[in-house]
Amino acid sequence: MSGGGVGTRTRVGKYELGRTLGEGSFAKVKYARDVRTGNSFAIKILDKQQVLRHKMVEQIKREISTMKLIKHPNVVQIYEVMASKTKIYIVLEFVDGGELFDKVANHGKLKEDEARRYFQQLINAVDYCHSRGVYHRDLKPENLLLDSYGTLKVSDFGLSAFAPQIREDGLLHTTCGTPNYVAPEVLNDKGYDGTASDIWSCGVILFVLMAGYLPFDEPNLVTLYKKISKAEFLFPAWFSSGAKKLITRILDPNPHTRITISNILADEWFKKGYKPPYFEHGEDVSLDDIDAVFNNSEEHLVTEKKEKPESMNAFELISRSQGFNLGNLFEKQLGLVKRETRFTSQCPPNEIMSKIEEAAKPLGFNVRKHNYKMKLQGDKSGRKGHLSVATEVFEVAPSLHMVELRKTGGDTLEFHKFYKNFSSGLKDIVWKTETNS
């Protein structure tokens, strides 16, 4: 930050932790490099106390073990699990193509064939995990990632158990950040079966891919819940009759009559151009690390070692920019926004901070500041799914700062809208490069 460091480098076991890729209510995901091989991973970091407090250890062990055995082309892979005295680290496949919904936000709705191709991959992933007794329970856009080949990867399967939601009655109960994707029986909180509710969320996702907007979208939560519980929505004119028929059978408010995955797989619209997934079955995967994490033995604990702080140098700067391309640091000319986006500024850091604050206030955000980090939290009454954004200022050269914004909660499409309004409020502090002035 101002005066040098970008913080210390942290080592956990053989991994060096890098930038924060995502942040949720109960976990943080950081980029990590295996220092011996140079391979990239993502590491999900959980607070151990929180996990133990919710008496969920058995279920979590079971789900992580199952997920570790799964090697499916459309599911983010879990490689290993480690623990320190206070944290649990889950080492995951690093997926670098952004969120699927960035495509919708940047280009509007997808063509039917493209939407169907992603939907087929989504159903393959969900079907495979269900067949092994693992449910997602929180399928929403931030969990749909693309790799560099454009293959869909669903993240957080089997990890939803960490979000405290299982009650004494053994049924799932949920608190939803983004109710727009959630099945009616989940909202009514009668306890529900994970299979049917995952299918509902897949239907909402398919609708958004093809329409470019949500089927159920009301600023008022009571109205929103009513619409969801009656499945009250309208199709846009451009949907084909096959797509409408399938989506109607998925968005059936009664979980008992809602279409099942085997019937989706048999549907004529769905089958068009369908390729069954090809994958290797897990070689011998050891589950010892998972036992070690939860059996409180001291010997297996890793430590978080801090290494000396350093200012963000050119290499760091480039490696943070997409595809090692400096041009992309200035994403303005493309008008693209990912869940994490950044700009550079030649203003002093305290001026940048107060400008960000000024720009966020009229958009209905509460601002919390700490050093050169700031959290913007959507005002509870006004914004559906309560968008929240984290921002951070780095010094990259004596008079050049980089500002990073990350969506930490709420809806992807909403974040894009917010960023457009927000960035127009910041235009006087953003450093202009020749190409986009």
Q: What is the Cα Rg of the chain in Å?
A: 22
What six digits make up the tokens of 427? 């235009």
Residues 121 and 219 in one domain: yes
What integer pLDDT is reported at residue 425 of this predicted model?
A: 74
Placement of tokens 């997409």 in the chain:
322
Residues 237 and 105 in one domain: yes
Q: Which range marks the domain in which residue 413 is found?
A: 314-431
Residues 335 and 251 in one domain: no
Residue 138 among the catalytic residues: yes
Q: Is residue 178 included in any domain, yes or no?
A: yes
Q: Is residue 75 included in any domain, yes or no?
A: no
Residues 223 and 341 in one domain: no
Q: How many CB atoms lie within 10 A of CB 141?
A: 24
What integer pLDDT is reported at residue 176 of this predicted model?
A: 47
Placement of tokens 């050093």 in the chain:
371
Q: Are 30 and 18 in contact (CB under 8 A)?
A: yes
CA distances (Å), origin 4, targets 8, 184, 398: 11, 51, 9
Residues 247 and 346 in one domain: no
Q: Is residue 211 included in any domain, yes or no?
A: yes
Number of domains forming the structure of the chain: 2
Residues 181 and 246 in one domain: yes
Residues 122 and 212 in one domain: yes
What integer pLDDT is reported at residue 280 of this predicted model?
A: 67
What integer pLDDT is reported at residue 76 of this predicted model?
A: 92
Residues 323 and 427 in one domain: yes
CA distances (Å), origin 46, targets 29, 49, 326: 9, 9, 33
Nearest CA to 269 among 131, 73, 119?
A: 119
CA distances (Å), origin 117, targets 112, 113, 199: 9, 6, 16
Q: Is residue 245 included in any domain, yes or no?
A: yes
Give me the catalytic one of 138, 156, 198, 411: 138
Q: Are 12 and 302 in contact (CB under 8 A)?
A: yes
Angle of helix 194-211 relative to helix 241-250, nearest 10 degrees? 150
Tens digit of each residue's pLDDT, the chain (437 residues): 333 344 567 888 899 998 888 776 667 889 999 989 989 999 999 888 777 776 667 777 777 888 888 788 999 988 988 888 888 899 999 998 888 988 888 888 999 999 999 999 999 999 988 888 888 877 888 789 999 888 999 988 766 655 544 444 444 444 444 678 888 888 777 667 788 999 999 999 999 999 999 999 887 888 888 999 999 999 999 999 999 999 999 999 999 999 999 999 999 999 999 988 877 665 677 778 877 777 766 666 777 776 544 455 555 555 555 444 444 444 443 444 555 677 777 788 788 888 888 888 777 777 777 767 778 777 655 445 567 788 877 776 767 777 777 777 677 777 777 777 777 777 777 665 444 33
Contacting residues for 428 by C-beta, under 8 A, at least 6 apart: 355
Residues 266 and 319 in one domain: no
What global pTM score does this model have? 0.73
Is residue 44 a known part of a binding site?
A: yes
Residues 134 and 258 in one domain: yes
What integer pLDDT is reported at residue 43 of this predicted model?
A: 93
Q: Is residue 87 included in any domain, yes or no?
A: no
At CA 227, angle to CA 225 and CA 232, rounded to 5? 155
What integer pLDDT is reported at residue 186 of this predicted model?
A: 82
Placement of tokens 């929103």 in the chain:
224
Q: Are 161 and 56 in contact (CB under 8 A)?
A: yes
What six digits make up the tokens of 87? 């944290």
CATH number at residue 348: 3.30.310.80
Helices (H), 132-219: 184-187, 194-211
Residues 338 and 424 in one domain: yes
Residue 232: φ, ψ to 5° = -95, 105
Nearest CA to 344 among 400, 399, 422?
A: 400
Residues 329 and 258 in one domain: no
Q: Is residue 302 included in any domain, yes or no?
A: no
Q: Is residue 253 included in any domain, yes or no?
A: yes
Q: Which residues of 83-95 are buried (b: 16+ CB within 10 A; e: fewer)?
A: bbeebbbbbbbbb
